[in-house]
Structure 1
Amino acid sequence: MGNSGGSLTTRSTGELQQLMRAAGFTGIDDTEALAEGWQVTDFADAGRRSLANLVQRTGTPAVMVSFLDSDVGFIEAATPDGSSWEGLLNRDMAESYEIPLEHFPIEPAMAGALTWAEAAGLTPDEEAIRQTLTGSALFAEELSSALLVALGIPGAT
């Protein structure tokens, strides 16, 4: 059985785990520092508004990927100005779970990802973002890591 938790990536000057708990995240694991203040933290569960609450508390953009048994990743991202986007990782596997792909169109996710990266002050790689949103991998976490790199998050590998 694979990972069914999630991963949150944001830039925070405060104690990220405390901020995440206050925003409604549970089962928070260790935080990995990337570069330029960016951090990645794994979690077990998040409430429906946890991401929006966290972005409001930190005042910085954040991207969250929730995993379904390491097979599928559900992307949610938000910025302090209230804009957000969502996407899906590992679409082929999502079909095997009968997840309706039409609920996760690629072009709006692409546009949202590029806008999000710009709001975060990053330099995204448009083609690499498209590859993560349309590609497949044995584990959705691989695509999630590739998405962070494609968004231009400093220190992501």
Structure 2
Amino acid sequence: MDSNTEVLLGWRAGLHGWDALVERYSRLVWSVPRSFRLSHTDAADVYQCTWLCLAEHLTRLRRPEHLGAWLVRTATRQSIAVVRARGREVSFDLWEPESALPAPEEVVLTNDRQRRLWAALMTLNERCQRLLRIAAHSPELSYAQVADALGIKVGSVGSTRTRCLADLRRKLGDLR
């Protein structure tokens, strides 16, 4: 597989590097707006805007080896902008048949579990939050891709994830 630098240089020279970049980072870019729990439509907008920003700034990238981190930062900024624009709207799919709706007690229990999980997650440091969001929304990513997105060493991804999960479990236990 070509390095980001080779792919970017190839794209600038008119070769087909863009497709390789999209294929390499597509799941990572998608994981960011989904980690913000955006609707599919809003997540698609963030995804598209992130790639558009890359196309606009491609010639100004100084460190192509950190492209994954750049894409995550850009998608994060785009996601935050959407969240701010939408406020705390909750969208309901009005076309869903009533039989598919969960029982009220299931909704209450699920909402309580999610509230406790998010409350515990938000008490973790930013590195752990980002790592766990990527792991939850894009489990198929390799350690190298996760390390690139977070700007950490590949060898520390597993141990960092283990520490973050242990910390999250402890904090969830404290919230009971």
Flag whether TM exceeds 0.5 (same fold): no
From the CA coordinates, give the structure whose radius of gyration is larger: 2
Greater share of residues in strand: 1
Higher relative contact order (CA 8 A, sep 6+): 2
Q: TM-score, normalised by structure 1?
A: 0.29
